């Protein structure tokens, strides 16, 4: 639960080559879903490689509060004894999802078609984020939501006693909304249909099929049509969580801008609905290769090799790629600052409702370190200064946002002077070993 503790100011100094192997933690999206679907299956699900970051630990606690037995065996090995679809118990405490939008939205979906109530809260960041995008479709199933004005947490969801299946076209590109509807659909009799105009990460669909749900996905002219048949008996699974591409982004981008670097980032999930950053970096001229491509646990996986890339060029990032790299724009803007020419990022309105307004947060920090940024409601652009051209020397606010804090730490590694953040504590939500991992590669990151 970041934001509840003492701020951790951090500084990242320009450094020599980054070298070695960066074993980043398990995928956050897949980790949340493993715990939630494990809790909705009948019997024991075994998970390895679970991300033990605060966001996922909060979801584990929540699943216990709904009656599942969730046990950590150490080193990313977990077991979940599920209570079956429709078997959730009513929690006797408020569910605190900390900093996690994915956690709270997916869990609201999972409980919304059971005859129980639950009250949800989060930290100062999560309690500002919009929840109506989830509670609107949950109301169609028969669930009720009462929260603060503007559809904010804290919020109580009264689950539908007699849920009906739903047909829902998701109005914003959001895997969290799509997943909340699918999880609610599990306990509604009949077929729930979700349509998304732009494909977003499909881990829920893949995992629901793996757990034995009847689910079909069809690409049509109207978009992706997902049909789920309610009331399945979910069968427990053995899940190996691939390493997180969104975490891999940080050592990869650090290596690209730090002279002499050569870093291997093994076992990274390369699901096409997640890999947009790596495609973009290669288009900009990054020396980034995929080695040993394979499939693990139903997800494509490769070892990434990133080397110092002094000749990257700014590009127009295609807006239709946004969903596949939505969490990576902050660190992409750091690469853009180290490229020559302008990088234009459009179709990214969703960045304004993440843990922070990420366009605003990055623009402020980039400007404080000598980089020119322009922005509109759903776009922003960065004027590249060429490799090593970022003056640095500034302190940035992280706004309770892990990706903002880590992006500025990466920026310091390739800048002319050190870059600081006011609070690195949110890094623990998704990448608890960021500091030792980056130091192990040769980075000079310190708590100040």
Ligand X SMILES: O=C(O)C1=C[C@@H](OP(=O)(O)O)[C@@H](O)[C@H](O)C1
Binding residues for 3-phosphoshikimate: 28-29, 33, 174, 176, 327, 354
Reduced to 3 states, what is the DSSP secondary structure of residue 134?
Answer: helix
CB 32 within 8 A of CB 58: no
58 in contact with ligand PEP (CB under 6 A) = no
Task: Report what 355 binds from ligand PEP, ligand X, none; CB cut-off 5-8 Å by kind.
Answer: ligand PEP
Decide: 445 and 435 in contact? Cβ < 8 Å.
Answer: yes
Q: Which does 299 bind (CB under 5 to 8 A by kind): ligand X, ligand PEP, none?
A: none
- Site map for ligand PEP, 338-357, x if CB under 6 A? ----------------xx--
Among 104, 118, 166, 175, binds ligand X (CB under 6 A): 175
Residue closer to ligand X by CB (options 224, 305) is: 224
Query: Listing from the earlier edge strand, what are the strands of the sheet with 144-148?
Result: 95-96, 117-121, 152-158, 144-148
Pick from 319, 377, 375: nearest CA to 346: 319
Calculate the alpha carbon distances from 131 to 171, 264, 277 in Å.
Answer: 13, 38, 27
Helix (H, G, I), strand (E, B) or coil at 64: helix
- The long-range contacts involving 214-217, CB below 8 angstroms and separated by at least 24 positions, are 215/182
If binding is defined by CB under 6 A, does position 202 make contact with ligand PEP? no
At its nearest, how many Å lie between ligand X and the CB of residue 326? 5
Catalytic pick among 327, 357, 360, 377:
327
Task: Please enumerate in sequence order all residues whose Cβ is within 8 A of that of 9, keeping only pairs 6 or more positions apart, or say none.
Answer: 420, 421, 422, 423, 424, 447, 448
In three-state form (DSSP H/G/I as H, E/B as E, the rest C), the secondary structure along 171-200 is CCCCHHHHHHHHHHHCCCCCEEEEEECCCC
Any catalytic annotation for residue 287? no
Residue 308 or 434 having the CB closest to ligand X: 434
Alpha carbon distance 28, 36 (integer Å): 13
Q: How far is the CB of 235 from ligand PEP (least distance, A)?
A: 27
Binding-site residues from annotation for phosphoenolpyruvate? 28, 101, 129, 176, 358, 403
- Contact flag: residue 179 with ligand X (CB under 6 A): yes
Closest separation in Å from C-beta 102 to ligand PEP? 3
- Restricting to residues 81-140, which ones interact with ligand X according to CB under 6 A? 101-102
Kindly report the number of other CB atoms within 10 A of residue 157's CB atom.
26
Fill in the per-residue mask, 316 to 335: x = in contact with ligand X (CB under 6 A), - = not in contact.
Answer: ----------xx--------
328 and 277 Cβ atoms separated by less than 8 Å: yes
Per partner kind, with CB cut-offs from 5 to 8 A, the member of ligand PEP, ligand X, none near residue 403 is: ligand PEP
Judged by CB under 6 A, the number of residues near ligand X is 11
Residues known to be catalytic: 327
Site residues (vs ligand PEP, CB under 6 A) = 28, 100-102, 327, 354-355, 403, 430
Site residues (vs ligand X, CB under 6 A) = 29, 101-102, 174-176, 179, 201, 326-327, 350
């Amino acid at each position: 639960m970041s934001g509840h503790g003492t701020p951790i100011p951090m500084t990242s100094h320009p450094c020599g080559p980054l070298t070695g192997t960066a074993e980043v933690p398990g995928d956050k999206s897949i980790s949340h879903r493993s715990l939630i679907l494990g809790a909705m299956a009948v019997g024991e699900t075994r998970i390895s490689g679970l991300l033990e970051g605060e966001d996922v630990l909060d979801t584990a606690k929540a699943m216990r509060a709904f009656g599942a037995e969730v046990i950590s065996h150490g080193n990313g090995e977990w077991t979940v004894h599920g209570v079956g679809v429709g078997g959730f118990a009513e929690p006797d405490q408020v569910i605190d999802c900390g900093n996690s939008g994915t956690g709270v939205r997916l869990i609201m979906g999972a409980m919304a078609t059971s005859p129980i109530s639950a009250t949800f809260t989060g930290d100062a960041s999560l309690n500002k984020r919009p929840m109506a995008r989830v509670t609107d479709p949950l109301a169609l199933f028969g669930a009720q939501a009462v929260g603060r004005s503007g559809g904010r947490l804290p919020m109580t969801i009264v689950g539908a006693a007699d849920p009906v299946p739903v047909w829902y076209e998701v109005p914003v590109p959001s895997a969290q909304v799509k997943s909340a509807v699918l999880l609610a659909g599990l306990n509604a009799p009949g077929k729930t249909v979700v349509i998304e105009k732009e494909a977003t990460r499909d881990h829920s669909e893949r995992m629901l099929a793996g757990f034995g749900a009847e689910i079909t996905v069809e690409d049509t002219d109207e978009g992706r049509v997902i049909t789920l048949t309610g009331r399945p008996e979910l069968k427990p699974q053995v899940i190996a969580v691939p390493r997180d591409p969104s975490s891999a982004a940080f050592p990869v981008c650090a290596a690209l801008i730090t002279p002499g670097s050569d870093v291997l980032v093994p076992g990274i999930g390369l699901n096409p609905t997640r890999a947009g950053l790596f495609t973009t970096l290669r288009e900009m001229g990054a020396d980034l290769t995929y080695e040993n491509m394979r499939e693990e646990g139903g997800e494509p996986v490769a070892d990434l090799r990133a080397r110092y890339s002094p000749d990257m060029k700014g590009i127009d990032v295609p807006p239709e790629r946004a969903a596949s790299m939505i969490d990576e724009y902050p660190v992409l803007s750091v690469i853009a600052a180290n490229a020559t020419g302008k990088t234009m990022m459009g179709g990214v309105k969703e960045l304004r409702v993440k843990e922070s307004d990420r366009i605003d947060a990055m623009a402020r920090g980039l400007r404080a370190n000598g980089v020119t940024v322009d922005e509109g409601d759903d776009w922003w652009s960065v004027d590249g200064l060429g490799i090593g051209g970022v003056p640095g020397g500034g302190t940035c606010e992280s706004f309770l946002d892990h990706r903002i804090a880590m992006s500025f730490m990466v920026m310091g590694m390739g800048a002319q002077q050190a870059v600081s953040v006011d609070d690195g504590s949110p890094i623990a939500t998704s990448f608890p070993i960021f500091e030792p991992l980056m130091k192990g590669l040769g980075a000079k990151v310190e708590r100040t």
